[in-house]
Chains A and B, each alone.
Chain A
């Protein structure tokens, strides 16, 4: 860390390009009622009002982001067009301190990898501090010509655009420097949050953003990631080095809620439940999300070797007992005030063994399950130290761990199958399990050199390069390259759950599990056997989960702990008591009087709007919901033969094909015809349930019914009817 003098010298090099002073509104019932527009090309900064219609139809968070983005771009806007924006917002409940999981920020942009709208949900303090500084959302447009930062100071009621030529780009250094630079004193550091990327995001299209929080107990910075879809790459393409917000004085009533009492009561009940149930259920407070490693392995759902398999003999080396020992215990690790679920675990005093920071002792935020499975098991790397090192470097370089893991797994399979060799990789032996190669490749991404320049493009572009330049078979690459819409799959094997195949690919943004996770309901519980059942689940759960993003909420406290009497309720999978908690929270903050059903309607408006937005950008239709075959079934002989009993059984019972005496190739082909047909039927059922056409276009009557039949939305839809 630089000394105070060095910090001062660095700051003295800042050139303030624009200053905007504003009257800070008092947040009222969860809303500041204005949004902040910053153009880093023209240096224009202005305030925009939040209309009642915006609040009624788009609620906040991702809804506000999308509405602002929609008006900022045109039909031809691409990820690196100047008019593309990065929008950040929490929502009306965001910033509540009495209930767990209430401090999330939602980030949207047009993605470099999917070339349509991406949204990402992230912890850290930025979104709530932004709102309490007077802004429900921030939209950043334009491209700067030199390295800049945007500083929002809620106490001074100013917004500045400043050049920042000397600060390093990598997150773990930059976020600490800027926190120290803009905090008045040591105590004030808790009131500062920094958004940054890293040098990897400069050279890769799978860049992420890191949102910081000052951890008072540890006396240091922690970061949470808006990982998916390359938002960090857009950030660096705009020459944005960082965003800084400072807002002292967060308190239990900063949202000025309509009924603080009901929020407090609901919160106390929930904290009590976490206290009594978490250690009996998922142990989120001690092991975080990595407890899922052994669970997924047991159900053959843990991705291994590029999603070929669902379990591995070496999995015990990376299960929760290992992480439990590595994570610091006894410190409540929430990513916003008041989160008693506290699952954002860290590993302290980790010594780096490679790269530019080799030998340094650092804090690693994580790993989350997704990271441990992605850069770990999926790449055949069952070494906690390597997973931690990859986790750290992905974060500080601003590279999405999920996309990185899935991409490297794909590259390793290509290497092992001889599609690429050392000549292509510049000497890297990209075999499954080669942790040194995975790390070196990541450092190459950060340095912008070698095979790293290809690896950072994401799977969709890599497939094209391999086919065009290296003569690879594009059909095979399409079968094993785990991406849909250009987004890399998150870390669950969906082969045995048709509903989850839809949960991944019949999405707006691409295969990220935060829309729907239906594997247990479908594959294990057998609760949704028919197409209609699956379609109903793929109607309800994505909408239910969308609602978290409208309100600045974390999904985990909804169902990663459940009330002791949840099994006795009518619909345990929906966790009815928690649904009621959220209704109370929303009404308690906003003073409205919504019901459970209106939650779904609120989400439906934003969800269908996002679909229309994608259609407007030339995507969003049925053909873009196609999945790689490996998401549905075995692509190769080895995959089939590793689970021959299962697949032979499916051929007999489901397909009516007698596997006796047939070659593996014949069996693979017969199973594939069946599975592909099932997926097409699923699409038909889901689109019908969602009120969309067979081509996945929301019908005009659907838009009317949910009240978003604005002329410009209807106009986009009409082109496809």
Chain B
């Protein structure tokens, strides 16, 4: 189990940041991601693993409309 924005989400082996974004269907382009407080660069989404127990924040920046 991991948390995404403070809510429980099932973890699966081999999960990456890119995979998690896809799994959550977060298609909005203006997002940024932290894992346990560390900011992950966009270029590294494909290669950065998400480990069981991680606290992930996927922040959508628009306060939009």
Q: Which residues of A line the B interface, CB within 8 A? A: 280-282, 292, 294-295, 298-299, 490, 492, 513-514, 516-518, 520-521, 524-527, 529, 541, 559-560, 562, 566-568, 572-575
Of the candidates A295, A298, A526, A566, the one whose C-beta lies within 8 Å of that of B61 is A566
- List 13 other contacts, CB 8 Å, given A490-B65, A517-B64, A521-B60: A280-B29, A281-B29, A282-B30, A518-B63, A520-B62, A520-B63, A521-B63, A524-B60, A526-B6, A526-B7, A559-B62, A567-B39, A572-B61
A520 to chain B, nearest CB (A): 4
Query: Which residues of A sit under 8 angstroms from B57, Cβ to Cβ?
Result: 525
Tell whether B13 is near chain A: CB-to-CB under 8 Å.
no
Contact A517:B27 (CB < 8 A) given known A525-B59, A526-B7: no
A279 to chain B, nearest CB (A): 10
Residue in B closest to A562 when the chains form the complex, CB atoms: B61
Query: Which residues of B sit under 8 angstroms from A527, Cβ to Cβ?
Result: 5, 59
Q: Is the CB of B61 within 8 A of A559?
A: yes
Q: Is the CB of A526 within 8 A of B63?
A: no
Q: Is the CB of B63 within 8 A of A568?
A: no
Secondary structure of the A side of the interface? Answer: loop
Q: Is the CB of B30 within 8 A of A525?
A: no
Q: Which residues of B line the A interface, CB within 8 A? A: 5-7, 25-30, 32, 39, 57-65
Query: Which residues of B sit under 8 angstroms from A520, Cβ to Cβ?
Result: 28, 60-64
Q: Is the CB of B27 within 8 A of A295?
A: yes
CA distance A292 to B57 in the complex (A): 22
Q: Is the CB of A295 within 8 A of B28?
A: yes
Contact A492:B65 (CB < 8 A) given known A282-B30, A526-B5: yes
Of the candidates B7, B25, B30, B63, the one whose C-beta lies within 8 Å of that of A541 is B63
CA distance A525 to B28 in the complex (A): 12
A492 to chain B, nearest CB (A): 7
Residue in B closest to A370 when the chains form the complex, CB atoms: B65
List 8 contacting pairs A-B, 8 Å CB cutoff, sorted by A. Answer: A298-B25, A520-B28, A520-B62, A524-B5, A524-B26, A559-B61, A572-B59, A572-B61
CA distance A529 to B7 in the complex (A): 12
Give me the 7 closest cross-chain CB pairs, A-B, nearest first. Answer: A517-B65, A567-B32, A513-B65, A520-B60, A526-B5, A517-B64, A298-B27
CA distance A244 to B39 in the complex (A): 53
Secondary structure of the B side of the interface? Answer: loop
Residue in B closest to A558 when the chains form the complex, CB atoms: B63
B44 to chain A, nearest CB (A): 13
Residue in A closest to B59 when the chains form the complex, CB atoms: A525
Query: Which residues of A sit under 8 angstroms from B30, Cβ to Cβ?
Result: 281-282, 562
B35 to chain A, nearest CB (A): 13
A72 to chain B, nearest CB (A): 31
Query: Which residues of A sit under 8 angstroms from B7, Cβ to Cβ?
Result: 526
Query: Which residues of A sit under 8 angstroms from B63, Cβ to Cβ?
Result: 516-518, 520-521, 541, 559, 573-574
CA distance A281 to B59 in the complex (A): 14
Query: Which residues of B sit under 8 angstroms from A517, Cβ to Cβ?
Result: 62-65
Query: Which residues of B sit under 8 angstroms from A573, Cβ to Cβ?
Result: 61, 63
CA distance A568 to B7 in the complex (A): 23
Query: Which residues of A sit under 8 angstroms from B58, Cβ to Cβ?
Result: 524-525
Residue in B closest to A297 when the chains form the complex, CB atoms: B27
Query: Which residues of B sit under 8 angstroms from A514, Cβ to Cβ?
Result: 65
CA distance A280 to B61 in the complex (A): 14
CA distance A560 to B30 in the complex (A): 9
CA distance A445 to B44 in the complex (A): 55
Q: Is the CB of B64 within 8 A of A559?
A: yes
B59 to chain A, nearest CB (A): 5
A430 to chain B, nearest CB (A): 28
CA distance A407 to B22 in the complex (A): 36
Query: Which residues of B sit under 8 angstroms from A572, Cβ to Cβ?
Result: 32, 59, 61
Residue in A closest to B60 when the chains form the complex, CB atoms: A520
CA distance A516 to B62 in the complex (A): 11
Residue in B closest to A490 when the chains form the complex, CB atoms: B65
B49 to chain A, nearest CB (A): 20
Residue in B closest to A517 when the chains form the complex, CB atoms: B65
CA distance A492 to B61 in the complex (A): 17
Query: Which residues of A sit under 8 angstroms from B61, Cβ to Cβ?
Result: 520, 559, 562, 566-567, 572-573, 575
CA distance A517 to B27 in the complex (A): 18
